Each structure stands twice: as structure tokens, then as C-alpha cells.
Homo-oligomer: A and B are copies of this chain.
Amino acid sequence: MATDRLSVIFSALADPTRRAILARLADGDATVTELAEPFDISLPAISRHLKVLEQAGLITRSRTAQWRSSSLNPEPLREATAWMERYRRHWDASFDRLDAHLRRIQAQAPQTTNDPQ
């Protein structure tokens, strides 16, 4: 069923290997072999993790000769965070004040109003 965007993003983040890959990519682009190096799993497995991350929009990939470089695309993290932000007032007492403050400096989008997922 996981057909909606947020489900795809959260599913992608649910795997520790994939999160570790994202962490690695935060330090710079890397090829599949480079990304596989720290792990005990096979190259095809890494390849499929990358496919999952790509489909979630969390990485983009480019090809140079026979190497496929992956780079981090954190935009979906922003989406996921945006969803969670709706609950921030429940955990952070001073959220409202801070939020208002942030919006003032940032002049962000007019606030996500009411999409239930």
C-alpha cells in the first residue's frame, strides 16, 4: 500500500543501512563500491538500497564512465520533518513562541494547514 510519498520516505528511512548510507553521503558523493565498503553485505544488496533511496528522492545519481555517483538530496527529509512539526507543540512547550519567531525571520510558506497525512 505504501504508495503515498511520506510512506515511501519513512520506509526508506526505516532501514539502518540506508540511514548509514545517507550519513555517509552527507560527507560527499560516493560510488556504489565506496558506499558498500563499510558494510558486510553484498554489492547487489547495496545497489537495491540505493534504488530505494532514489525512489524516495533521498538521493540522486549520476553516471561518469562506469561509476555511478550518488549524492544526497535532503528535500524529502524536509517533507518528513514538516509532517512531524505538526506535533511539535505537543512535545515542546516553547514551540509556539519559537515557531512564530522562525516564521518571522524566515518568511516561510504560509504554514501547512490541514492535510491529515
Contact = CB atoms under 8 A, between A and B. Distances in A.
Interface of A: 1-2, 4, 6-7, 10-11, 13-16, 19-20, 22-23, 26, 72, 74-75, 77-78, 80-81, 83-88, 90-92, 94, 98, 101-102, 105-106, 116-117
B72 A77 contact: no
A90 B72 contact: yes
Copies held by the complex: 2
A50 B26 CA distance: 34
B106 A77 contact: no
A-B pairs with lowest CB-CB distance, top 5: A10-B14, A74-B91, A11-B14, A74-B90, A74-B87
25 contacts: A1-B15, A1-B16, A2-B14, A2-B16, A4-B16, A6-B16, A7-B16, A10-B14, A11-B11, A11-B14, A19-B83, A19-B117, A22-B87, A23-B86, A26-B87, A72-B87, A74-B88, A77-B88, A78-B92, A80-B80, A81-B84, A81-B85, A81-B88, A98-B105, A101-B105
